[in-house]
Chains A and B, each alone.
Chain A
Amino acid sequence: MMSEKKDPRKTFGEALVIAGEKNSKVLAISADSSSGSQMTMFKNKFPERHIEFGIMEDGITGMCAGLATTGKIPVFATIAPFVTGRNFDQMKVDLGYMKQNVKVVGRCAGLSYYHLGPTHQSLEDVALMREIPGMTILNPGDPVEIKAATLAMIEHTGPVYMKVGSDPMPVIFDESKYKFELGKGITMKDGKDITIVGTGTVLCRAAEAADILEKKGISVRLINIHTIKPLDNELIIKAAKETGLIVTVEEHYTSGGLGGAIAELLALNHPTKMKMIGVEDQFGSNGPYEELIGLYGLLGPQIADTCMKLLEKK
């Protein structure tokens, strides 16, 4: 487990080709982003279904909505902040309010652009997308899940935002047994002392923390949330009731993302002690990826330490 690593963008690109083979309505939409988003495979296989628009993300989002009104399923993939923050009005109106069947993939999401700084990092993308009624938000946690999520978002009717990182991701799941169900979390470990909820690029860090804690005799429940909206309310409330302590782990601001969504849910349904691990209210810094996520306590051993401190107070 977790020995093999794969490029998440390449995994997405390969899955998009499969989606394109299954459904002739699927289009790949590029903002000079096909190579960076690994849609070149799709372009080579279905050149007539690949549309290049150059760098104009706001306009492209609207054009995707227009394409969708004619029955197409545009998949628009580029750097995450440019398809969530920059084009927010188009995401809200043309995809959300108009309920158009467009799939937007924010790649190199979170802190993936570790050297390039806040303009290219997306620590607010989930928070923004959560505020759009009807928007599904996917944040798959390993290559197997990226493939499954890509195929599932095409099957789903309605606007979807999917977040994909860029650093090689360890393979966590056994593809032969893995089943993706949109809106349903996955309990990876059952436990009663604490629940760690991980998502996306740092699911593997949450899993590493769970392993460290188990070796210390802690009974950890590890939940993978690949669909942040709609959230698996039932699974989260059950974990809160049964473990009494929830720690969320995400490459996002500690407000507004997975942690924020769970805090809102539990405040109304089962107030529970919580800790969100992610970036606090500050712009992301820059530097080598491992060191950068370490600044925000997102490495496995750091997550385990944070959990231990919380357990001591429990």
Chain B
Amino acid sequence: MQKITDAEELELKRHAVQLRKDVLAIIKAGDAGHIGGALSATELMTSLFYKVLKNIDPKNPKREDRDRFIMSAGHKCLIVYAVLAEKGFFSKDLFNTYFKINSKLPGHPDMHKLPGIESNTGSLGHGLPIAVGMGIGLKLDKNPAKVYVIMGDGELGEGTNWEAAAAASHHKVDNLVVMIDRNKFQLGGLTNELMNFEPLAKRFESFGWSTRSIDGHNFKEIIDNLTDAPFEPGKPSLIICNTLKAKGISFLEDTAGSHYWKVNPEQVVQAEKELDAIAKELG
């Protein structure tokens, strides 16, 4: 396990609040967007891109030994755009093109429009099969790179996930690490009420995965566990990350309504104030 210091944790918190501000800036440019899932996954994305992913290089985004990241729940792409811009893959000037004609920042990510995007997602249940294929391909080449995936909890209903879960275990794809952003909401309400997938860990374990459950906003827990994978040799790793939808903006937090947010100017001002206050507190 790779422990992080308190100073490192503080630095990550500062990055996270900046990423949340970036997400808000993108949404502001388009007047709407999938904010809830972007903000529930912010600490996961911050951890991945600032601490976990190896050989990520904006100057050489296709280097063969890079760890791969796939945002399977493609509607959470605003946090992907934010982190890739902060890491220098492209200019933050592109934020203002969001929802404009021919934007490189569509509402779901397109690998041919932006560097650093590994897979086109948006149609749910595609990311995990693609990641399993990547994992097998890397292992065939004896490439030590790992494949990390963030899935939404709502997308678990897609049958392809369970096909891929079986295949990953059968083929011993232990270079695969999947995080389920368990924010408990999907578009129409509570995930467990719309279609229950509990006991989630046991279901994946019965498919041959090694699982853990963590607080998905706690950097120490996230990084300890992400850097500890594979949890068992020969098994794919799953981390259930318990999160709050739209974490960081009080009036959206933990609501189904934050899934897709149509903004009004007053709300944007309030959200900006709240994020600025968090940033100020962090120093």
Contacts and interface: CB of A to CB of B under 8 A. Distances in A.
Interface of A: 48, 51, 53-54, 56, 58-72, 74, 89-90, 93-94, 97-99
A97 B120 contact: yes
A interface, by DSSP: helix, strand, loop or mixed? Answer: helix
B118 A59 contact: no
Contacts of A58: 129, 159-160, 163
A72 B137 contact: yes
Given A72-B140, A94-B129, 20 more contacts: A56-B160, A58-B163, A59-B163, A61-B129, A62-B164, A63-B164, A63-B167, A66-B136, A67-B136, A69-B118, A69-B137, A70-B133, A70-B134, A70-B140, A74-B133, A90-B126, A90-B160, A93-B123, A94-B120, A98-B119
A99 B133 contact: no
Interface in B115-134: 118-120, 122-123, 126, 128-134
- Of all A-B residue pairs in the complex, the 10 with the closest CB atoms, nearest first, are A66-B133, A62-B129, A70-B137, A59-B163, A63-B133, A56-B163, A66-B130, A66-B134, A67-B133, A67-B137
B141 interface: yes
Interface in B122-167: 122-123, 126, 128-138, 140-141, 143, 159-160, 163-164, 166-167
B202 interface: no
B112 interface: yes
B171 interface: yes
A69 B163 contact: no
Nearest to A87: B160
Contacts of A51: 136, 171
Interface residues of B, number: 32
Contacts of A93: 120, 122-123, 126
Contacts of B119: 65-66, 69, 98
A56 B134 contact: no
Nearest to A65: B130
Given A93-B123, A98-B111, A59 B129 contact: yes
A56 B166 CA distance: 10
A277 to B, nearest CB: 36
Given A62-B130, A65-B130, A70 B141 contact: yes
Nearest to B145: A70
A60 B170 CA distance: 13
Contacts of A74: 133
B227 to A, nearest CB: 23
Contacts of B123: 89, 93
Given A56-B167, A58-B160, A89-B123, A66 B143 contact: no
A70 B136 CA distance: 9
A307 to B, nearest CB: 44
A93 B143 CA distance: 26
Contact of A69 (B112, B130, B159, B167): B130
Interface in B222-240: none
B133 A71 contact: no
Contact of B131 (A64, A66, A89): A66
Contacts of A65: 119, 129-130, 133
A56 B140 CA distance: 21
Interface centre among B68, B133, B160 (most CB of A within 10 A): B133
Interface centre among B128, B132, B137, B141 (most CB of A within 10 A): B137
A211 B75 CA distance: 58
B132 A63 contact: yes
A90 B166 CA distance: 18
A180 B60 CA distance: 38
B111 A64 contact: no
A293 B281 CA distance: 76
Contact of B167 (A59, A94, A98, A99): A59
Contacts of B129: 58-63, 65-66, 90, 94
Contacts of B141: 70-71
A175 B143 CA distance: 41
Interface string B159-203: 110011011001100000000000000000000000000000000
A51 B172 CA distance: 13
A63 B118 CA distance: 14
Contacts of A97: 110, 120
B69 to A, nearest CB: 12
B133 to A, nearest CB: 2
Contacts of A59: 129, 132, 160, 163-164, 167
B210 to A, nearest CB: 20
Contacts of B68: 69
